Amino acid sequence: MTESQQAAQNHDEHEPTYLSHRQIMSVLAGLMMGMFLSALDQTIVATAIRTIGDDLQGLSLQAWVTTAYLITATITTPLYGKLGDIYGRKKLFLWSIGIFIVGSVMCTFANSMYQLAGFRAVQGIGAGGLFSLALAIIGDIVPPRERAKYQGAFLAVFGTASVLGPLVGGFFAGTDSIIGITGWRWVFLVNVPIGVVALLVVQATLHVPHRRLDHAIDWWGAAALITGLVPLLTIAEQGREWGWQSSRAFLCYGIGLIGIIAFVFIERAMKEEALLPLRFFSNRTFALTNIVGFIMGAAMFGGLAGLPLYLQIVKGATPTRAGLLLIPLTLGIMLGSVASGQIISRTGRYKVFPLIGASSLIVALGLLSTVKPDTSLVTTGLLSAFFGFGLGNLLQPTVLAVQNAVSPRDIGVATSSATFFRQMGGTLGTAVFLSVLFNQWAARSGTEFKDAASDPNSSFSLATRDPQVLAQPQNKKFLETLQQMQSGTGGSKTGAFNDTSFLSGVAKGLTEPLFKAFTFGMSHIFLIASGATVIALALLFFLPNIPLRGRGAGEAAPAGGH
């Protein structure tokens, strides 16, 4: 039996009850509010992270803040799929919003980057359900062929959040204090009123049918997954600092390997009750899309981590302006997703769009690796848009492919699994790429300053011989910090970049070598991501092109009720 025939048989055995267009739009209102909470938080934090890192003396540790959030969001995602089957997706969606609010309040009172990372981990527990449950609910009530159109509404949420996030985040990051609370802390505190409104809207509008499916929750599998992932992500973050062959590194390798092996054995023993039922991996569509999702998550989060820092550190953009300069990336995602969604709805075919998306990403990441300190903002904006267009053609079609390839009774677990692999790739990608970036930046800086100092006509040499430049306090401070970095008295190499506020107001000629070193490190992460995407593209050629299912006989028609 072919995979297409198996998908059709699964559909017949577990016929879902799809809702009318009017009912779907009512449900969408609740889902969009919950997703808006998560999307807005991501754009606000990404815009304000440099200010937060500088204030907490730990910008080079920002990967911990991001990866802690992604680790808990990743690990809880498959749990939400199982728990949603038992207790209903609405209850779990409300629960995830509530946990997210609690985590946000905790983040408001963080006094170090490590403490902030811990509180962001609490946020991540809530965030793990926001995206996967929303997609699973859509999978429950909308037939696959029409799903792309309705999922386009989620893109409007992300687009709106991408515009508002930089403005709100930039305002808070640029404000010293508001009613006695440091400005950047409102980046997290603002989630509280938004979250409360989201809870009320979801409670009032999110009415979805629920057929209880009793499961034994795979707690041992979750524990093994945590044991496997956390040490490996830790060494991904700290490997260059500790040494990849140090005793601590091998300890992480060993514990991680034991955790992963234990996870596989537990999942085999749990069978249908496993967090990730192993039978799914015999489905070629499921296996391929999740491998590709893992790679794309790494490439996506790696790229998104580097661009805001480039705009703020090298280009000197304020947090607000840096966020606004990334709007082309969001527009690219929306264009790619909306266009692919409309065509998929009309044709029922999806395979070509992931191929277009991966190809676009390879080119975009390759071109982004050539960005230098003097590259125009117009160029970076166009490349960001192209990067987003590639993502837009990948994200939605691959989720549709997974949902279409499994039985409707498995949509919750399959959707959460797809989200899990993408977030796992994103977690690993963020840890590795930011580690590479900061270590390359620190390592390359000495070479760049040495080359600049040896050239009497370089901007750096000319600036250091200019009495007016040397008379300015911020330039003096910069040169003192530079001397400490070169002599090693300022701590670890990457630690020198824990607070980049010393760059503010410094003469352009003095900072040019430092910015060249930063783009050198940034080019490495884009090239690595581009190479990984080549592997993803090769795998996508083997993706089955199963026609998307439509409505069953007698079911309500789509938009307009016709």
pLDDT at residue 497 in the model: 60
What secondary structure does DSSP assign to 205-267, as a single string?
H-------------HHHHHHHHHHHHHHHHHHHHHHHH-TTSHHHHHHHHHHHHHHHHHHHHH
Same domain, 166 and 311: yes
Residues 102 and 118 in one domain: yes
CB-count burial class (<10 Å; 0-12, 13-18, 19+) for 203: middle
Number of domains in the chain: 3
The model's pLDDT over 57-101, given as tens digits with 9 standing for 90+, comes to: 776 666 678 778 877 887 787 788 778 777 778 888 899 999 999
For residue 561, is it within any domain? no
pLDDT digits (tens, 9 = 90+) for 135-151: 778 777 777 667 766 76
Is residue 313 a part of any domain in this protein?
Answer: yes
Q: Is residue 553 part of a domain?
A: no
526-544 residue pLDDT tens: 998 899 999 999 999 998 8
The helix/strand/coil state of 181 is strand
What would the mean pLDDT of 434-438 be, rounded to a whole number? 80
Based on its alpha-carbon atoms, the radius of gyration of the chain, rounded to whole angstroms, reads 24
456 and 379 fall within a common domain: no
Cβ atoms 205, 27 nearer than 8 A: yes
Residue 559 binned pLDDT confidence (cut-offs 50, 70, 90): very low
Distance of CA 536 to the CA centre of its chain: 18
Please give the helix or strand (H or E) that residue 164 lies within, else none. Answer: helix 144-173
In a domain, 557, yes or no: no
Residue-level pLDDT at 556: 44
- For residues 18 and 126, membership in a common domain is answered with yes
Choice between 411 and 523, residue whose per-residue pLDDT is larger: 523
Please indicate, yes or no, if residue 156 is contained in any of the structural domains. yes
Domain holding 228, by residue range, is 219-274
Rounded Cα distance between 295 and 362, Å, is 12
The reply to whether 324 falls in a domain is yes
Considering 133-137, 352-356, 432-436, the range whose residues carry the highest mean pLDDT is: 352-356
User: In whole angstroms, what is the distance from residue 417 CA to residue 415 CA?
Assistant: 5
Query: 85 in helix, strand or coil?
Result: helix
pLDDT in tens, 286-312: 889 889 988 888 887 766 777 878 888
* pLDDT recorded at residue 343: 83
What's the whole-number mean pLDDT along residues 12-25?
A: 63
Same domain, 8 and 137: yes
Structure tokens, 266: 């537990």
Give the model's pLDDT for residue 13: 44
What does the block give as tokens for 184? 């950047």
- Concatenated DSSP letters for 540-560? HTT---PPPP-PPTTPPPSGG
Q: What is the pLDDT of residues 322-349, one digit of tens each?
A: 777 878 887 888 788 878 877 887 787 8
| Residue 436 lies inside a defined structural domain of this protein | yes
Closest CA to 206 of 411, 84, 28, 416: 28
- Taking Cα atoms as reference points, which of 27, 89, 78, 75 lies closest to residue 213? 89
- As given in the structure block, the two tokens for residue 187 are 């980046």
Under the banding of pLDDT at 50, 70 and 90, the label for residue 557 is very low
* Position 553 pLDDT exceeds 70: no
Last residue of a domain, one of 239, 254, 274: 274
Residue ending a domain, choose from 258, 274, 290: 274
Residue 44 scores a pLDDT above 60: yes
Residue 111's Cβ-count burial label (10 Å; 0-12, 13-18, 19+) is exposed
**How far is Cα 94 from Cα 100, in angstroms, rounded to an integer?**
10
**Most confident region among 19-23, 96-100, 204-208, 278-282 by mean pLDDT:** 96-100
Bridge partners of residue 177, in order along the sequence:
182
Q: Does 297 share its domain with 185?
A: yes
162 touches 326 (CB < 8 A):
yes
Helix 352-368 and helix 508-540, axial crossing angle in degrees, nearest 10: 160
pLDDT, tens digit, for every residue of 224-281?
988 988 888 778 767 767 777 889 889 999 999 999 999 999 989 988 778 778 888 8
* pLDDT tens readout for residues 155-194: 667 667 766 777 787 788 778 788 888 888 888 888 888 8
What average pLDDT is seen over the chain?
Answer: 79
Same domain for 395 and 279: yes
Same domain, 539 and 495: no
260 lies in the same domain as 368: no
Enumerate the β-bridge partners of residue 178.
Answer: 181
Any idea what the CATH number is for the domain that residue 56 is in?
A: 1.20.1250.20
> Are both 504 and 397 inside the same structural domain?
no
In this predicted structure, what is the pLDDT of residue 491?
45
The reply to whether 559 falls in a domain is no
Do 315 and 396 fall into the same domain? yes
Do residue 10 and residue 136 come from a single domain?
yes
Q: What pLDDT sits at residue 218?
A: 82
